[in-house]
Amino acid sequence: MKKSIRQIAITLGISWLLGIQPCHGYPASNIDEAIAKLDMYIKLQVQRKHIPGCAVAVVYQNQIIFMHGYGVKSVGKPEKIDADTVFQLGSVSKPVAASLASILENKGFIKFEDPVNHYLPQFALNSRQPHKTVKIKHILSHSTGVPRAGFNNLIESHASYPRILKALQNTPVRSAVGKQYDYHNAMYALLSNITESATGLSFQHSLEANLLKPLNMTNTSATLSALLQTANRATPHVKNQRGALMPCDQYSKGYYNVAPAGGINSSIRDMAIFLKAQLGGYPEVLNHRALARIQLPQIPTQNTLSPSDAPPQTIKNARYAYGWRVVDFAHSKLVFHGGWVKGFTNFIAFMPEHAVGIVVLHNSEAKFSSRAAVKFFESLLKLPQNKQPLKMNKSSLMIQHNRRFDALKTTSTKSSQKLSKKKAPVKRLKLKKVATHIRIKHASATP
């Protein structure tokens, strides 16, 4: 198997590759083909300037079998992305924070079943329910009952953490604790306070002592200053008015005030190690019990993931665990999380039963990271491609056509006369004349 991976490295022109070890029962044809397709897809995205760059790692059977940097750190500059280029993770911070919480529970510092006010006696929600009702597990699963509306705006406006904490306690609880999912960055940030109360260390120092140092994740941090002190860092990119990706002048700052929810920085080398740990590769740091604890689904959610080339029913039954999302992906359990912060989109996902996972770190807001990962899993599982016609409601098609007709009607008389000379008059359609379906073209290598 070592030979197989080296062959694919030569074929694809991979610049660097880590941790290759022989694996018994290694499905070389599937994994090699999936990596080859992934590599081709990403190179095409970079060549067509759909993305500035990215970094990708694949873990299989407790080995990092593929790691590669693509494109540049900043558009208009020559510096390439490599294994140690640091990205802002956004919400991919959540599974990192959840992993720390699980380690602390294993060490006896906290219990997920503990009420929040056991650690924060002065903290109380605006609710008629007893204060002891809200537990650590509800924070981790976004089921505290506190509505998220307005809190992301507060975070992104660089509001101080004390102000955010006060707003949390003043906001009326909308639903019973543990009964309804509402994705909440500000509530998730309470893990920082709980960690400090339980260990006597700040969130950053506790993260370093219990997770980062034991895993040798040397490029990972949870502060803006640590990011800015890193020379090898990716630049965020957003689209200008013409739709071209342009580098931002500044990094997003607000989410460092809620670090467990979205304020962690890391490189693909470190995140590959983290992914390996989630697949059981470092039991001395994250044992089976700690992993099972945070990967177990807790509450139903809306599906945030879509197939790329496979049929729509490939992904279903979306739930949230503790810091992880979980779906049924073609009869396999897929554990994943995406992350956005201004100018970055990232994605991490794995299938425990197949002992395989992928991380994609990306320095723009293009919908690329999750798409690349989904394509990888579709190739790996050799899923059938979606070639079915998309059925559309007759009235919907009629409305679409007639809107075009009405738009043409509003043009100038002169323009209409010119149009009538070249084409037959456009008429409004009646419902009985509308086709019942249209056929979607099979997706190509680019979105």
pLDDT tens track for 145-204: 999 988 999 999 999 999 999 999 999 998 999 999 999 999 999 999 999 999 999 999
Angle, helices 288-295/93-106, rounded to nearest 10 degrees: 130
Question: DSSP 3-state assignment of 93?
Answer: helix
CA distance 63 to 65: 6
Where does residue 360 fall: left (phi above 0), alpha (psi -120 to 50 degrees), or beta otherwise?
A: beta
CA distance 300 to 320: 6
What the chain holds in terms of domains, given with CATH numbers, is: 2-101+197-380 (3.40.710.10), 391-438 (no CATH)
**CA 315 to chain CA mean position, Å:** 16
Supply the pLDDT for residue 242: 87
Supply the pLDDT for residue 164: 94
> What number of CA atoms fall less than 13 Å from residue 389's CA on the CB side?
8
Handedness of CA 175, 180, 182, 187 (dihedral sign): positive
The residues, ordered by sequence, that sit 6+ positions from 360 with a Cβ below 8 Å of its Cβ are: 54, 55, 56, 346, 347, 348, 368, 369, 370, 372, 373
Q: What is the pLDDT of residues 352-401, one digit of tens each?
A: 999 999 999 999 998 899 999 999 999 999 988 765 444 444 444 454 45
Tokens of 240: 């200008």
Apex CA 25: angle with CA 20 and CA 31, to 5°? 60
Where does residue 150 fall: left (phi above 0), alpha (psi -120 to 50 degrees), or beta otherwise?
A: left
Supply the pLDDT for residue 131: 59
Buried b or exposed e, range 131-142, using 16+ CB within 10 angstroms: eebbbbbbbbbb
CA distance 170 to 144: 14
Helix residue ranges, H only, 54-135: 93-106
C-alpha distances (whole Å) from 395 to each of 260, 404, 410, 430 are 47, 14, 22, 9
Phi, psi (deg, nearest 5) at residue 108: 90, 10
Supply the pLDDT for residue 184: 95
Tokens of 10: 């030569």
For residue 201, count other CB atoms closer than 10 A to its CB. 14
| CB-based contact 117:132 (threshold 8 Å) | yes
Pairing of strands 390-391, 437-438: antiparallel
Which residues of the chain fall below pLDDT 50? 1-27, 388-397, 399-400, 403, 405, 407-424, 428, 430-447
Tokens of 409: 């009607």
| CB-based contact 274:98 (threshold 8 Å) | no
Pairing of strands 356-362, 344-351: antiparallel
Percentage, residues of the chain above pLDDT 90: 70
The residues, ordered by sequence, that sit 6+ positions from 208 with a Cβ below 8 Å of its Cβ are: none
Task: Identify the CA nearest to 156 among candidates 255, 248, 222, 236.
Answer: 255
Supply the pLDDT for residue 444: 31
pTM of the predicted model as reported, rounded to 2 decimal places: 0.81
